Amino acid sequence: MAKAFGATSTTDEVLEGVDLSGKRILVTGVSAGLGVETARTLAAHGAQVVGAARDLRKAHAATEEVRAQATRVGGLELVELDLASLASVRACADALVAAGKRFDLVIANAGVMACPFGKTSDGFETQFGTNHLGHFVFVNRIASLFNPGSRLVNLSSAGHRFSDVNLDDPNFENSPYTEFGAYGRSKTANILFAVEFDRRHKAKGVRATAVHPGGIQTELGRHLSPEAIQQLIDGINAANATSGQPAFDWKTVPQGAATSVWSGIVASADEVGGLYCEDCHVAELSEGEGIRGGVRAYALDAEHAKALWAKSEEMVGERF
């Protein structure tokens, strides 16, 4: 009987007894937080991990524990990837394709949250451009390296409940910018990308899913003041009280990274493919107000996912 995991499960608990020797796994965002912990537990269980980061010096310092805990057959290789620059994205992807080494799992973990309005080097709104379009181009460019039976795990968030994508105005050129509105759009896009990637690749034995790691105190929240964080928690607790759910509680980083490795390795592909997971289970549809558990229907809509894919191709000037 399969073990049951939940909100407090850690990465090592989820991977207990799992041997990843011979597996090659790519994780983006390995310079802090969830990315470092994800890489650590994978290498500690025998995987060869390719860690992507914008700042390689920072990533090298942050991943000392990854190398220390790697098994004799596991290890870590770092590659430079700036998701806010399509030139960097394409260069990194092309180098990986040229090397020809295949992957059993890709975890699109990197991202930014609730930052002031800005643009990527290609002129896209920062959060949509970094969280979605950067990964969209990167993953599609290395899609030929996915082994049969491999998976893509996109890090999304309960923040997808803030807002759906706006395919008519993705860069906030004609609508007022809000930090969490933009974050919500990008996190919804992460789910829709997984939905459509899964549809396109499952016949080849490659599946995709999206996950919410939970509320974790990492560098991701560096743009938020303590007052803004408390206001967010108060809103979550109000929504949870209305729906009969428990009060908000911070997760540890190992608890936050657990759903990524659960959905990428432990859960069956048919269980998670094309869906959205949280707390080491597949989330149910939930349309109530506020940031709480569950997934909004618009984030799993297949036709919506196809439309986002087409819009994304148009924006980056590349078809996949």
Q: Which of 157, 163, 187, 312 is catalytic?
A: 187
- Domains in the chain and their CATH numbers? 11-316 (3.40.50.720)
Q: What are 8-52's pLDDT values in tens digits?
A: 999 999 999 999 999 999 999 999 999 999 999 999 999 999 999
Q: What is the pLDDT of residue 252?
A: 93
DSSP 180-225: HHHHHHHHHHHHHHHHHHHHHHGGGT-EEEEEE---B-SGGGTTS-
Average confidence (pLDDT) over 113-124 = 96
Predicted pLDDT at 240: 62
* The one catalytic residue among 150, 163, 183, 186: 183
Distance CA 254, CA 169 (A): 37
Report residue 109 as tokens.
């973990």
From CA 102, how far away is CA 105, in angstroms rounded? 9
What is the C-alpha separation between 127 and 223, in angstroms, rounded?
13
Mean pLDDT computed over 146-157:
98
Q: What is the pLDDT of residue 226?
A: 72
User: Which tens digit of pLDDT belongs to each residue from 64-73?
Assistant: 999 999 999 9
pLDDT for 36: 98
Give 212-271 as a DSSP string.
E---B-SGGGTTS-HHHHHHHHHHHHHHHHHHTPPPP-PBPHHHHTHHHHIIIIIS-HHH
pLDDT at 289 over 90: no
User: Residue 229: what pLDDT?
Assistant: 64
Considering the chain, what is the average pLDDT of its residues? 93
Q: Rounded distance, CA 296 to CA 40, Å?
A: 32
Q: Left, alpha or beta for 115 (phi > 0: left; psi -120 to 50: alpha)?
A: beta
Rounded to 5°, the CA angle 177-178-183 comes to 110
Contacts (Cβ under 8 Å, ≥6 apart) of 51: 26, 27, 30, 35, 39, 59, 63, 66, 76, 77, 78, 79
Q: What's the pLDDT at 288?
A: 76
Q: Which residue type sits at 222?
A: R
Active site residue 156: yes
For residue 168, the one-letter residue type is D
204-233 per-position pLDDT tens digit: 999 999 999 987 765 555 656 677 667 766
Confidence of residue 100 (pLDDT cuts 50, 70, 90): very high
Residue 86, token pair as written in the block? 């399509």
Residue of 9, 156, 260, 263 marked catalytic:
156
Mean pLDDT for the stretch of residues 85-103: 98
Q: How far is CA 2 from CA 5, 78, 84, 263, in A?
A: 9, 34, 40, 14
pLDDT at residue 80, rounded to an integer: 98
pLDDT of residue 275: 98
| One-letter amino acid of 166 | N
- What integer is the mean pLDDT of 126-142? 98
Residue among 219, 253, 194 nearest 38 (CA) = 253
Separation of alpha carbons 250 and 213, rounded Å: 11
Separation between Cα atoms, residue 204 and residue 187, nearest integer Å:
26
